[in-house]
Amino acid sequence: MIVINYGIDWATITRDALIESDIKQYLKPHYKVAIKPNLVTPQHPSNGATTHPEVVEGIILFLTEFGITNISVIESSAIGYDTKEAYAIAGYEPLQKRYGVPLIDLKNSRSKKLTHSGCTIEIYEKALEADFLINVPVLKAHCQTRLTCNMKNLKGCIPEREMRRFHTMGLHKPIAVL
Protein backbone atom coordinates (compact mmCIF):
# COMPACT_ATOMS: atom_id res chain seq x y z
CA MET A 1 0.00 0.00 0.00
CA ILE A 2 1.22 3.47 -0.86
CA VAL A 3 -0.02 6.46 1.12
CA ILE A 4 0.67 9.95 -0.19
CA ASN A 5 0.50 12.84 2.23
CA TYR A 6 1.37 16.53 1.97
CA GLY A 7 2.17 19.19 4.51
CA ILE A 8 4.88 20.88 6.51
CA ASP A 9 4.21 19.34 9.93
CA TRP A 10 6.30 16.22 9.37
CA ALA A 11 5.34 14.54 12.63
CA THR A 12 1.62 14.87 11.89
CA ILE A 13 1.80 13.82 8.25
CA THR A 14 3.96 10.82 9.15
CA ARG A 15 1.52 9.80 11.89
CA ASP A 16 -1.45 10.30 9.57
CA ALA A 17 0.20 8.27 6.78
CA LEU A 18 0.77 5.39 9.21
CA ILE A 19 -2.85 5.55 10.35
CA GLU A 20 -3.96 5.25 6.71
CA SER A 21 -1.51 2.43 5.96
CA ASP A 22 -1.91 -1.28 6.61
CA ILE A 23 0.91 -1.39 9.20
CA LYS A 24 -1.56 -2.01 12.06
CA GLN A 25 -2.14 -5.57 10.89
CA TYR A 26 1.53 -6.36 11.63
CA LEU A 27 1.70 -4.77 15.09
CA LYS A 28 0.61 -5.87 18.56
CA PRO A 29 0.45 -3.54 21.59
CA HIS A 30 2.92 -5.74 23.54
CA TYR A 31 5.58 -5.59 20.81
CA LYS A 32 9.05 -4.24 21.40
CA VAL A 33 9.54 -1.81 18.49
CA ALA A 34 12.88 -0.43 17.32
CA ILE A 35 12.99 2.58 15.01
CA LYS A 36 16.13 2.69 12.84
CA PRO A 37 16.74 6.16 11.34
CA ASN A 38 19.62 7.04 9.03
CA LEU A 39 22.15 8.99 11.12
CA VAL A 40 25.20 7.95 9.13
CA THR A 41 27.15 11.05 10.20
CA PRO A 42 26.60 13.87 12.71
CA GLN A 43 24.65 16.21 10.42
CA HIS A 44 21.54 18.31 10.75
CA PRO A 45 18.67 16.81 8.71
CA SER A 46 18.41 19.99 6.61
CA ASN A 47 21.52 18.72 4.77
CA GLY A 48 19.48 15.79 3.42
CA ALA A 49 21.78 13.02 4.66
CA THR A 50 20.01 12.14 7.91
CA THR A 51 16.46 11.18 8.89
CA HIS A 52 14.53 14.14 10.24
CA PRO A 53 13.57 13.66 13.91
CA GLU A 54 10.03 14.92 13.20
CA VAL A 55 9.46 11.88 10.96
CA VAL A 56 10.56 9.63 13.82
CA GLU A 57 8.35 11.64 16.17
CA GLY A 58 5.36 10.89 13.93
CA ILE A 59 6.18 7.18 14.14
CA ILE A 60 6.43 7.41 17.94
CA LEU A 61 3.06 9.22 18.10
CA PHE A 62 1.44 6.55 15.94
CA LEU A 63 2.91 3.68 17.97
CA THR A 64 1.93 5.15 21.34
CA GLU A 65 -1.61 5.90 20.14
CA PHE A 66 -1.76 2.27 18.97
CA GLY A 67 -0.83 1.20 22.52
CA ILE A 68 2.82 0.31 22.02
CA THR A 69 4.99 1.56 24.87
CA ASN A 70 8.23 -0.39 24.39
CA ILE A 71 9.84 1.81 21.74
CA SER A 72 13.51 2.59 21.14
CA VAL A 73 15.54 4.38 18.49
CA ILE A 74 18.59 2.38 17.43
CA GLU A 75 21.56 3.43 15.32
CA SER A 76 25.23 2.87 14.67
CA SER A 77 26.70 5.71 12.64
CA ALA A 78 29.25 5.14 9.89
CA ILE A 79 32.79 4.03 10.59
CA GLY A 80 34.70 6.70 12.49
CA TYR A 81 31.63 8.68 13.55
CA ASP A 82 30.12 9.04 17.01
CA THR A 83 26.49 7.89 17.14
CA LYS A 84 25.69 9.94 20.26
CA GLU A 85 26.99 13.05 18.51
CA ALA A 86 24.84 12.18 15.48
CA TYR A 87 21.75 11.90 17.71
CA ALA A 88 22.54 15.31 19.24
CA ILE A 89 23.32 17.20 16.03
CA ALA A 90 20.37 15.68 14.15
CA GLY A 91 18.00 16.83 16.93
CA TYR A 92 16.96 13.49 18.47
CA GLU A 93 17.58 14.28 22.15
CA PRO A 94 14.26 16.18 22.57
CA LEU A 95 12.44 13.00 21.46
CA GLN A 96 14.10 11.10 24.27
CA LYS A 97 13.07 13.76 26.78
CA ARG A 98 9.53 14.26 25.44
CA TYR A 99 8.55 10.61 24.96
CA GLY A 100 10.97 8.68 27.18
CA VAL A 101 12.22 6.77 24.15
CA PRO A 102 15.83 5.61 24.58
CA LEU A 103 18.36 6.56 21.90
CA ILE A 104 20.50 3.45 21.68
CA ASP A 105 24.04 3.55 20.32
CA LEU A 106 24.40 0.08 18.88
CA LYS A 107 28.19 0.42 18.89
CA ASN A 108 27.95 -0.28 22.64
CA SER A 109 25.97 -3.50 22.09
CA ARG A 110 26.83 -7.13 21.64
CA SER A 111 26.42 -8.78 18.25
CA LYS A 112 25.45 -12.22 17.04
CA LYS A 113 26.43 -14.14 13.90
CA LEU A 114 23.63 -15.34 11.66
CA THR A 115 23.81 -17.17 8.35
CA HIS A 116 21.45 -16.80 5.41
CA SER A 117 21.92 -17.81 1.78
CA GLY A 118 25.44 -19.02 2.56
CA CYS A 119 26.49 -15.64 3.94
CA THR A 120 27.32 -15.17 7.63
CA ILE A 121 26.72 -11.69 9.01
CA GLU A 122 27.22 -10.25 12.47
CA ILE A 123 24.18 -8.22 13.61
CA TYR A 124 23.74 -6.20 16.78
CA GLU A 125 21.57 -8.11 19.26
CA LYS A 126 19.52 -5.00 20.10
CA ALA A 127 18.27 -4.97 16.51
CA LEU A 128 17.48 -8.69 16.66
CA GLU A 129 15.61 -8.37 19.98
CA ALA A 130 12.94 -6.13 18.47
CA ASP A 131 9.63 -7.75 17.61
CA PHE A 132 9.21 -5.12 14.91
CA LEU A 133 11.88 -2.96 13.26
CA ILE A 134 10.87 0.23 11.47
CA ASN A 135 13.53 1.29 8.99
CA VAL A 136 13.45 5.04 8.29
CA PRO A 137 16.03 5.69 5.57
CA VAL A 138 16.88 8.78 3.57
CA LEU A 139 16.58 8.40 -0.19
CA LYS A 140 20.05 9.10 -1.55
CA ALA A 141 22.77 7.70 -3.76
CA HIS A 142 26.05 5.98 -2.90
CA CYS A 143 29.18 5.71 -5.04
CA GLN A 144 29.18 1.88 -4.86
CA THR A 145 25.48 1.34 -5.58
CA ARG A 146 22.89 2.85 -7.87
CA LEU A 147 20.36 3.57 -5.13
CA THR A 148 20.79 2.99 -1.40
CA CYS A 149 17.15 3.39 -0.39
CA ASN A 150 16.07 1.40 2.65
CA MET A 151 18.25 -1.71 2.50
CA LYS A 152 21.63 -0.02 2.91
CA ASN A 153 20.33 1.86 5.96
CA LEU A 154 20.21 -1.48 7.77
CA LYS A 155 24.03 -1.48 7.77
CA GLY A 156 23.55 0.61 10.92
CA CYS A 157 22.54 -2.68 12.60
CA ILE A 158 25.94 -4.28 12.10
CA PRO A 159 29.33 -3.67 13.76
CA GLU A 160 31.97 -1.53 12.04
CA ARG A 161 34.08 -4.58 11.13
CA GLU A 162 31.06 -5.92 9.24
CA MET A 163 30.54 -2.57 7.53
CA ARG A 164 34.12 -2.75 6.25
CA ARG A 165 33.66 -6.37 5.17
CA PHE A 166 30.48 -5.51 3.25
CA HIS A 167 32.48 -3.07 1.14
CA THR A 168 35.15 -5.69 0.37
CA MET A 169 32.45 -8.21 -0.60
CA GLY A 170 30.69 -5.73 -2.87
CA LEU A 171 27.70 -4.09 -1.23
CA HIS A 172 24.86 -5.66 -3.19
CA LYS A 173 24.84 -9.28 -1.99
CA PRO A 174 25.56 -8.73 1.73
CA ILE A 175 23.00 -5.92 1.89
CA ALA A 176 20.40 -8.14 0.24
CA VAL A 177 21.19 -10.92 2.74
CA LEU A 178 21.02 -8.47 5.66
Q: pLDDT tens digit string along 140-174?
A: 655 556 655 667 777 788 888 887 777 677 766 77
Distance (Å, whole) CA 133 – CA 156: 12
Give the N- to C-terminal CA distance of the chain in Å, as an integer. 23
Q: In what order do the strands lie in the sheet with 103-105?
A: 103-105, 70-75, 32-37, 132-136
The pLDDT of residue 141: 59
The pLDDT of residue 147: 59
User: How confident is the model over 16-21, as a mean pLDDT?
Assistant: 94
The pLDDT of residue 149: 63
- Domain ranges in the chain? 10-177
The pLDDT of residue 11: 96
Which has the closest alpha carbon to 52: 73, 27, 21?
Answer: 73
CATH 3.40.50.11440 fits 10-177, yes or no: yes
The pLDDT of residue 146: 61
The pLDDT of residue 95: 96
User: How confident is the model over 37-61, as a mean pLDDT?
Assistant: 95
Name which of 15-29, 52-66, 128-142 the model is least confident about: 128-142
User: How confident is the model over 17-44, as a mean pLDDT?
Assistant: 95
The pLDDT of residue 81: 94
Q: What is the pLDDT of residues 78-135, one digit of tens each?
A: 889 999 999 999 999 999 999 999 999 999 999 999 888 888 889 999 999 999 999 9
Distance (Å, whole) CA 92 – CA 37: 10
Residue type present at position 159:
P
The H or E element that residue 64 is part of is: helix 53-66
The pLDDT of residue 1: 77
Strands 119-124 and 111-116: antiparallel
The pLDDT of residue 79: 87
DSSP-based three-state secondary structure for 175: helix
